[in-house]
Amino acid sequence: MNRTINVFIKTLFLFSFVLHSCWDLFKNKNNDKIRSNIVKSYQMGKMKEAYDLIEEHFTYDQKKPGDYFIQIKILLFLREFDKAQTLIEELQARDLCFDKLLKDELRVLKEDLEKEKEIYVQDLATHADAAHTREFLKYLYDHNCCSNSMNIFYNKYNVRGLKATKDIKAKDTIIFVDKSLLLTDSKANDYIVQKLATDDDKNQGDIFMSCLEYPKTSSLAIFILEHRHDVEYEQYFNIIFSNDYSSFPYFFDAKTRDILCGTTALEKIKEKEYTILHDWNEMQKTEAFKQYSYEDFKKAFCGVLSRTYSITVSPQEHGSCLAPFMDLENHNKETNTRWFFDQKDQHFKLVATKDIQKGEELLTSYGSTKSNTELLYTYGFALEDNKDNANIFINYKGSLYKCTDNVSKRSDNSGESELGNLLYRIYNDCDKKDKNARLKATFNTLLELCYQIFKNRIYNMNIIQKLLQDEKDTLSFNEKNCYYIVIEEQEIVKKIIYKLEEVVKTLAQDTSGDHLVTQLLSSKLFTDPEIVFLKEFTQEE
């Protein structure tokens, strides 16, 4: 009897041991799966999801060093330095970092903590919007739109930008922004149309949108004004509104604007300014939007103008959008990233184009063909040596035509210069009946327009000389931007005038128009749009 009981107890003990071992094995496999999901979420920037999974599934005794490292990195991203310090102390107290690799990673985290704390204290003292930046990081965290390899910082120009928080390999995806977080112009348009619709007139919103000069940009600006204090958007829109827009020409004081006197850039800026004012005046005609001041609308407008991406979400859906976090990336023609919308997984992605070292700024190009004038009125800065595409704007009967001496550098979004269109218009306006006389008159008129631009420079250059007497290094940021534009225009107008003078000399010859065109086409004086004009000229009946 006793023997039977002993056998039964041993069997029961063995069964219990096996059952417990199987449960441990199942639990470990399940934990491994959970940790795999945590790492995946963290790598995709879904930091809240990763942090919550650790808290939900692992108690104090169950946490491993990897769990601690992920949580500490997330807290550093959020500028939650005290909480990060607490976890570091907890990890050290448990003595879990027993090998060299773990000890090295812990050491790096401690160094990062001290460095980031010091930088943040400096930012709070130097930048009035540093607190908004921290709130914005919380917004990104709550919406699972973070990055495990970059964060926000203030660069040497005291402008917010993005820097690598670890070494990044070429082709690595730095951030995923889900489609649901993109603020598109179609969403803003739908909101406005719905808000303005009434029982008596369902089309009131469509009519309003059709009256806007910049429907995409202005609709997004209105959406920002409308939702600026909504819980869903407040922290993101605070970043847009806390930005300093004083470098945009629409906010220049009279002294700074005087530097641009006589430039074609100032004419273009005034044209853009008029259209912004026009769209605001349209808002004033509505009960829904008339409460917003012109200054606030300009800020929202500049925020949208300088941040929007043009994307194709699907073959049927293309437009402008705001992409949180990614839109803080600064410009440089030496880029190290590229962005695109992945239609397969419906994410807007930022990908490294080369190896990026920890601490290095992430940079993109705002457009390799943009002149300083375009950079200034779109983004609020100009470049000292912008050789990508210098151009001038020629005013003919109230319309501005963008012209460059080298069209191969592409002067607008369509990839063509507006000089060809200007030639057509001058030619068609000419009252001379003789074909050859009209051709000569066309180029003479264009040359006179350029001479006038050059004459306008005299007053302008006097201002520049006065500025230079006070030394270029003492100029303010805005004054330097204006200076770069003045010098750029001076060079381009000289080149265009030289070319046109040679053309006029050739046209002065007493030969037929067709023969002159042949000579001009072989002279290498012309670029794409003029060649198209001249070829079509020879085909006229």
**Per-residue model confidence (pLDDT) at position 26:** 45
Task: Tell me the per-residue pLDDT of 63-81, one tens digit each, with 9 for 90 and over.
Answer: 988 999 999 999 999 999 9
388 lies in the same domain as 494 = yes
Q: Are residues 271 and 386 in the same domain?
A: no
pLDDT at 228: 93
Q: For the range 95-101, what are the long-range contacts, defined as Cβ-Cβ under 8 Å and sequence gap of 24 or more?
A: 96/64, 96/65, 96/68, 97/65
In a domain, 402, yes or no: yes
**Does 244 fall in a domain?**
yes
Domain boundary (101, 126, 151) is at 126
For residue 1, the model assigns a pLDDT of 58
Reported as a pLDDT band with limits 50, 70 and 90, residue 107 is: very high
- Mean pLDDT across 49-65: 89
Q: Is the per-residue pLDDT at 28 higher than 80? A: no
Query: Residue 243: what pLDDT?
Result: 87
The reply to whether 398 and 510 lie within a common domain is yes
Tell whether 296 and 421 lie within a shared domain: no
Beta bridge partners of 430: none
If asked whether residues 195 and 116 sit together in one domain, one would say: no
pLDDT digits over 155-165, tens only? Answer: 887 889 999 99
End-of-domain residue from the set 292, 308, 324: 308
Most confident of 32-36, 221-225, 476-480: 221-225
- Residue 409 confidence (pLDDT): 36
Question: Would the pLDDT of 25 be above 50?
Answer: no
Q: What token pair was written down for 300?
A: 């929202």
Q: Would you say residue 8 has pLDDT above 80?
A: no
Q: For the ranges 16-30, 88-102, 178-192, 382-396, which has the lowest average pLDDT?
A: 16-30
Highest mean pLDDT among 18-27, 161-170, 339-348, 445-454: 161-170
Residue that the structure tokens 């805005």 belong to: 478
In a domain, 15, yes or no: yes
Q: Is residue 530 part of a domain?
A: yes
- Do residues 300 and 220 share a domain? yes
Residue type, 243: N
Question: How many structural domains comprise the chain?
Answer: 3
Q: What is the pLDDT of residue 511?
A: 57
The crossing angle, in degrees rounded to 10, of helices 65-77 and 81-94 is 170
Domain membership of residue 211 (yes or no) is yes
Are 116 and 208 part of one and the same domain? no
Domain extent for 531: 381-539
Instruction: Inform me whether the pLDDT recorded for 21 exceeds 80.
Output: no
pLDDT value of position 513: 52
Q: Where are the alpha helices (DSSP H) in 405-512?
A: 419-429, 435-469, 477-507
Rounded Cα distance between 288 and 226, Å, is 9
For residue range 402-442, what is the model confidence (pLDDT) as tens digits?
777 553 333 344 434 577 778 778 888 888 777 777 878 88
Domain boundary among 74, 92, 126: 126
The answer to whether residues 117 and 206 belong to one domain is: no
- The reported pLDDT for the residue numbered 251 is 94
In this structure, the answer to whether residues 529 and 412 fall within a common structural domain is yes
Whether pLDDT at 292 is above 90: yes
Which positions ≥6 away from 1 have C-beta within 8 Å? none
Q: What's residue 151's pLDDT?
A: 92
Domain assignment present for 115:
yes
Residue 337 in tokens: 């990233």
Q: Are residues 437 and 519 in the same domain?
A: yes
Are 177 and 347 in contact by the 8 Å Cβ rule? The answer is yes
158 located within any domain: no
pLDDT-derived band at 20 (thresholds 50, 70, 90) equals: low
Of 511 and 76, more confident? 76
Q: Which residue has the higher pLDDT, 521 or 332?
A: 332
Query: Are residues 398 and 291 both part of a single domain?
Result: no
Does any domain span residue 291?
yes
